[in-house]
Structures are given as C-alpha cells and as structure tokens.
Structure 1
Amino acid sequence: MSISALERPRPVHRAADLLAAYLPGSFYFSSARGALLADGEHARVRAGNGAHALAAADALDAAAAAGIPEPVVAGAVGFHPAAQAALLVPSVVRRADAPTDVRAPGAESGTVRTVTPRPGTAQYTDGVRRALERIGRGDLSKVVLARCLELTAEAPVWVPALLARLVGADPAAYAFAADVTAPGDPAPRTLVGASPELLVSRRGATVVANPLAGSAPRSGDEALDRERIARLRESAKDLAEHAYTTAQVAEVLGRFCVDLDVPAQPEVIGTPTMWHLSTRITGRLAAPADPACSALGLAEALHPTPAVCGAPGTGALAAIADLEPEDRGYYAGMVGWTGLDGDGEWAVTIRSAEVCDRTVRLFAGAGIVADSDPAAELAETCAKFRTLLRALGAEDVA
C-alpha cells in the first residue's frame, strides 16, 4: 500500500542547516513561523497585469499533478503594481523550525570602495519639501519617499554570508534571499534582506497582517530608548501616518473576511536598529478555497500599502514617480511563498538590497505627512540603512 506525498512525514531540518545550505539561485525565507529553503525550478509563474495569484494556483495544481510533493510558489514581486516579478515553483523544498541557533560570520569592514547616493541628501530633503507642498494643497495625505545608496565593493559580495549575518542579527525578522536576475544583468542578481514587516500570512481560514508605520531610531541606550518609545506612542505625526496604513489594510482584508479584529491603538515593536508603531490585524476568511484568498492573492490585494506608498494610493504613486529619481525595483515590493492549500507568508521587502557581483543597491524610505520635517525624514532613512550597512561592515557610509 503506497503512502501519498501529503501523508509522508516531512524531513526534519535545523534552521541553521538550511541557512548553511543556501547558495545564490536558491530561495530562502524565514520568520518566527519557520524557515524554508527551495531549490531548482519546476516551473516559472508568469502572469499578465499582475494577476499572480491565479497563475500561481494553476502552476501549483500542475506541479501536484506532476508529482511534486507539497509544491509551493516562492519568490518576489516588485514595488509598482505592474512591476517585474520573480516567482517559481521549486523542484525541492526543505523546511525547518524558526531560526534560533544561527552563528553568523562577522562582517568584513573596509570592503566597500565607493558609495553613490541617489538622490543626494540635499536633493532628498528638497523632494520632501515638494511632497509637503502637495500635501498642503490637498493632493494627498501621505507619501513615502525613498532614497538609494549604490555601493561598490572591492570583490563580489558573497550573499550567503550576508544573509547569515542578517538572520543572526535578528532571527525573528522576515529574512529572505531570492534570485531576481533579469535579462541584461552582468551577473546573477539576488534580493536579500531582513524585513520587520509582515504583509500577510495565512493558516487555514486565519489571516494576519502586521502593518508598520511611524518609526524612531534605536539608540542602544536603555533610558534613551524608553524615552523614544514613549514619544513614538504619543507622536501625532507618527500616529497619523500609522492610521492611514492600518485603515487601508483593514479595509482590504474586510473584503475577504467574515470576522476582523483591528486593535484600537498600535503597539511599539523593536528591531536591532529601529522602533516601529505596529498593529497586528487578524481575520477569518469567508471563502478559503478561492484562489483570491490564498496568501499570494491577499498579498496582491494589499500591495502596496500606505506604509511603503502613501494615501491615496494613486496620488502617492504619481508623487513617487515624479520625486524619486531611482526606480525602486524590488524594494518595497513583497517576498514570500504560498502552498497548494493557499497557506503562506509574504513580507514587505524593506531593509533589503539587490546584490549583483560587486554592486549593492540599498533603499530606505520615510513616510511624509503634513507635520514632517525634511531633516528628520532624512535622518530616518539613514537609521533604516543601518540594518544592511551593518551586515556589510559599512555602517558609517550613510
């Protein structure tokens, strides 16, 4: 009597083993929910007009019919609604518990040769002022403006070591590495990062979203950090910024859920470099079998949230296109996985970089609202760069 693929016991792996086995070209994703390492390409998921969830459902059905055990769709989608995507059904998937036993290699200092800001600091603060003029006219309520640092290293950047340092620094983060190589790239390109922000996860009929908006740098001094947390909780500017995001996420999930729990006040959560206002929204799906209610379908419906775009979305997208000189690529997009049953987990691709040979492109953004101060918003982006710069051994270049 044969045992079906779904009835076979899963191999047991340690998260540290999966991380050690990662090589460029693989897909890695870990969170407090667990770790996943995917290799090979059974099928590429291609969709027009951003309809990735339907294409993914078809690809998963075909993979199951072809005998792929417990198939998943994994990868990343860029920021813009019609942006590039790198989604596939891997040939092999290994899973482990959440990473807690990672020993990461130390960062090599002095390996960054050049740093090119796009835009420069003066141009960025000028962009914030221009955004404030639009907000003052009533064109929009919030817009997230990002800036880029392009780093050139002395030698090709070894992504497995960079990923291990990111996971080791914050095992609870949504850590990821996805191949996003595009035609014309001179070498393989990898999207790698450690995001604090869950876009959406699904287990059965239960969905969770955890938008973050409103931030303060972490100092490392316990007394000063207590003060910053207290100020963040009471900041009218940050609370307003957060409210735009929470309201939209709740409105979108409400279309799919019969029950939705939205806390009245945000909490404050911390990463090694930042404090963030956080609201954990939970719901129960009305139609879990609908491909639109898969983890990827819900992620598509939510993306991009005001946390990385603005409000209203159409006006914010137009402002970003006008005020940001550098295309975001996969920054502020989404990365994760969805299984045959619709379950999965997708994170917002912040605290991320695109690595191609010796070149590393980092992005960081700040939410601009009526009370924003250009210098403070610039300082916020500098603080957010620290996650990747620290892992690269180049924390002093921002």
Structure 2
Amino acid sequence: MTPPLWTTEPGTTAPEAPAQEPAATEIHPMHWRSSTAEVSADTSITVGPSAQRSTDLGAAIDRAARRSTAGVAFGALPFDRTAASTVITPADITHIADRPVTQLKRASSRPSEPSDYLAGVSSILSRIADGTVDKVVLARYSDMLLESPSDPLDIAARLAVRNPSAHVFALPVGPGRHLVGASPELLLAKTGANVRSHPLAGSARRTGDPVTDEQAADRLRRSDKDLREHRYVVEAICDLLSPHCRRLSAADPDVVATDSMLHLGTEITAELDDPHASVSRLAAELHPTPAVCGTPRAAAGAAINETESFDRGFFAGAVGWQDRAGDGEWAVSIRCGEVTAERVRAYAGAGIVAGSDPTAELTETEGKLSTLLAALG
C-alpha cells in the first residue's frame, strides 16, 4: 500500500526563514521512497551544520520543515562528521508516478584499483594487530562516464524496482550533484517517544541460488568474525542512544537479504525520555556508526583518512527527513553514488576486523557496488 504523503496542517502557513538562515540555491528535483513515504519534489538546498553540531543541525532541519508548505524537510550528512551538511527544503510534494526510464549511454568505466584496496586492507589489519583500532570500514569506488546526461530520478526509479524494501533516494547535495542510492540500513526512525534502529554489519555475497545462499546465511549466523564485526555496531548505537532513553532493547541478530548481499542485522528499539527530541539531532549523534567507519570512531576515521586516496563525500553518511514534530527517519547512505550529468561514482565498503581476508573483503565490495551499477545497466 502506498504510504500517505505529508500535507500542510489546515489553517497553517509556512513561517518566514530566520535571518541567519543561509540563502537557498536554485531549484533541484529530489526523490525519496521508503516504508513511510514515497515522494518527489522540487527543492531548494542550503549548506547546513555538520553532524558534530548535532543540536544546530536538528534546529536547521526543523526550521526548514516549518518553512516548507509540506511541513517536512530532508537532509544529507557527509561521512566526515565535521563537514557541512545539506539541508533540503521541498516544495510542491507530489506522489511519484511510474517514471519513463531512459537509456543511459555509457562511455567508459573506471574502477579504483583492486590492488590498492588489497594493500589497504593489509595495512588496516596491521593497525588492528597492534591495537590501534578494532574495526575499520575501508571503501573503494567505480566511476561510470556517460555519453549523454544522466537523470538522477531515472536512476532512483531503476533502483526502486530492483530494491523494493530499501530506502531509495535521489537527493541534491550541491549544484548539479545528487546522491542516489538504495540503502537497506535504517540509522534511526522516530515517532513520538519511540525510536528504532536496524544496523547491518557482517556480510556475504548472494549467488542467486537459494540453497547456496541459505548455507551462506547459516555461516554468517555462526561466524565469530562477522558476529564480532556486527556487535561493535550494535553496542555503539546502544551506548549513544541510552543517555536519551528510559527503555532500550536489542534483539538477537539475524540475516537480512538485499538484492546482492546477505547481512547480519539487529533490531534496536527504545523509548525516549523526551518525545519532542529531534530525530535529526539524534541521527547526527549516532553518525558515523562502526557499520561505515569503525571503532574506536576517532581512530578508525584517522585510519580511513590515511589509507583511502579519495574523498568519500556523502557516501557512508546519512540521509533522511524530519517533520515539524521532530519525527522522521534517517538511513545510512550506502549502496549509493554521486551522480552528475556526465559521471556516476558508485561507492562500497567492507568492515575489516581481526581475521578478515583481503580477497574476501574485495569480493564483498564488488557485490555491494553491483546494486548501483546494475541499476545503471
């Protein structure tokens, strides 16, 4: 069933933007599809506070939601929690109908070097062995150069067909730049005092054969390495949420299947002390979790900066929405890429812990890259 769309409350009008609010840029299209909403809209975007300034970020998105005639605003956080966010204010939200999908004309593909990734994993394993870090998520990318201009909403439509249960998004993150993806990972959802998170960590590639995939799922459930990798994420989220909660619980991990991967996933539920707390502020405090960064967070982030030769930008960040009540949902921005008219850069990462095998981690990134690359044909 199609979820309801947001509407302006009867008798209300959008307030004027505060004087300190940065000036909006030109209009950009966006799309979001999840279990709670499926919308497209023209939007204005502004530079917002970083995740590190979580209170300011929550306030900025709240102001944007109150300015919007639809009573909702979106946001995108980069991986770097000290870098500026993008605040997205929709106008004229409508239900997105079936879009005609145009043919993408690929000129060439340029993946990052597998040998560089293998060397990077070996370097991270050395840091783990000497006790510098417990887990680091190392990423790589693949560029697709296009002969004709891309349409980010077309790519989102392809992803929606192939990933029916994912958070599908095409959000503007700058002039001529969209973050487009189909994330299976819920960072945080909030309704009143109730919040929910569903982290994923510990992975195996799907083969398409039901028997083989079920065997792989059973191995995941019993894998000490994958369970340890997953536990880091669950513990970090619970530790960060618990000061805000009167009740918090985490279920036992189970296997979650996506179009190309199998993941260990854990359902975390909690009741907040303050039901008016902003979902955006809470999501910013959680970001980035060990699912996309590592643990300890500061040491893992430093290892990523020293090992990866590229800027992640908004990959491994967070995307989501908030309404005027402070409710909404945020997803981890994985299975995604940056889309411009001439290029699509797809990203993927794998969690490195003691016992990780460099070749297996490379294979995992190939499976994760395939979500966006398959949608591109």
What CA deviation, in whole Å up to 9, does each residue of 1:255-292 have, x standing for no partner? 111000111x2011111111110001000110122xxx
Post-superposition offset of 1:71: 2.1
Which one of 277, 295, 305 corresponds to residue 311 of structure 1? 295
Whether 1:343 aligns to 2:327 is: yes
Structure 1 residues 87-102: aligned runs within 5 Å: 87-94=87-94
Post-superposition offset of 1:328: 0.2
Task: Measure, in 1, the Cα distance between the counterparts of 2:94 and 2:131.
Answer: 50
Go from structure 1 to structure 2 and tell me whether the alpha carbon gap of 1:218 and 1:104 turns closer, same or farther (over 3 Å shift): farther
What CA deviation, in whole Å up to 9, does each residue of 1:155-182 have, x standing for no partner? 2222222110100111210000111125
Which one of 183, 192, 195 corresponds to residue 180 of structure 2? 192
TM-score, reference length from structure 1: 0.84
Post-superposition offset of 1:49: 7.2
Partner of 2:86: 86
What amino acid does structure 2 have at the position aligned with 1:92? D
TM-score, reference length from structure 2: 0.88
Partner of 1:253: 241
Post-superposition offset of 1:63: 6.4
Partner of 2:226: 238
Task: Measure, in 1, the Cα distance between the counterparts of 2:319 and 2:116.
Answer: 30
Kept after mapping to 2: 8 A contact 1:60/1:71: no
What amino acid does structure 2 have at the position aligned with 1:244? Y
Partner of 1:15: none
Partner of 1:215: 203
Partner of 1:272: 259
What amino acid does structure 1 have at the position aligned with 2:75? G
Task: Measure, in 2, the Cα distance between the counterparts of 1:286 and 1:176.
Answer: 31
Count of equivalent residues:
357
3-state SS of paired residue (2:28): coil
Task: Measure, in 2, the Cα distance between the counterparts of 1:200 and 1:76.
Answer: 14
Structure 1 unaligned segments of length 5 or more: list them.
10-23, 97-101, 183-187, 394-398
3-state SS of paired residue (1:90): strand
Kept after mapping to 2: 8 A contact 1:26/1:38: yes
Whether 1:143 aligns to 2:136 is: yes
Task: Let me know the Cα RMSD of the aligned residues.
Answer: 2.3
Post-superposition offset of 1:34: 2.3
Partner of 1:54: 56
Post-superposition offset of 1:50: 3.9
Task: Measure, in 2, the Cα distance between the counterparts of 1:49 and 1:369.
Answer: 26
Which one of 162, 179, 183 corresponds to residue 155 of structure 2? 162
Task: Measure, in 2, the Cα distance between the counterparts of 1:267 and 1:92.
Answer: 40
Partner of 2:15: none
3-state SS of paired residue (2:174): coil
Structure 2 unaligned segments of length 5 or more: list them.
1-6, 13-26
Task: Measure, in 1, the Cα distance between the counterparts of 2:267 and 2:89.
Answer: 30
What amino acid does structure 1 have at the position aligned with 2:290? P
Kept after mapping to 2: 8 A contact 1:45/1:55: no
Kept after mapping to 1: 8 A contact 2:54/2:285: no
Whether 1:128 aligns to 2:116 is: no
Go from structure 1 to structure 2 and tell me whether the alpha carbon gap of 1:49 and 1:221 turns closer, same or farther (over 3 Å shift): closer
Partner of 2:20: none
Go from structure 1 to structure 2 and tell me whether the alpha carbon gap of 1:189 and 1:389 turns closer, same or farther (over 3 Å shift): same
Kept after mapping to 2: 8 A contact 1:104/1:165: no
Which one of 170, 173, 179 corresponds to residue 180 of structure 1? 173
Kept after mapping to 2: 8 A contact 1:46/1:52: no
Task: Measure, in 2, the Cα distance between the counterparts of 1:381 and 1:63.
Answer: 36
Post-superposition offset of 1:323: 0.5
What amino acid does structure 1 have at the position aligned with 2:169? F
Task: Measure, in 2, the Cα distance between the counterparts of 1:299 and 1:373.
Answer: 32
3-state SS of paired residue (2:326): coil
Post-superposition offset of 1:142: 0.3
Task: Measure, in 2, the Cα distance between the counterparts of 1:77 and 1:63.
Answer: 17
Which one of 27, 30, 38 corresponds to residue 27 of structure 1? 30
Residue identity (%): 41
Post-superposition offset of 1:335: 0.6
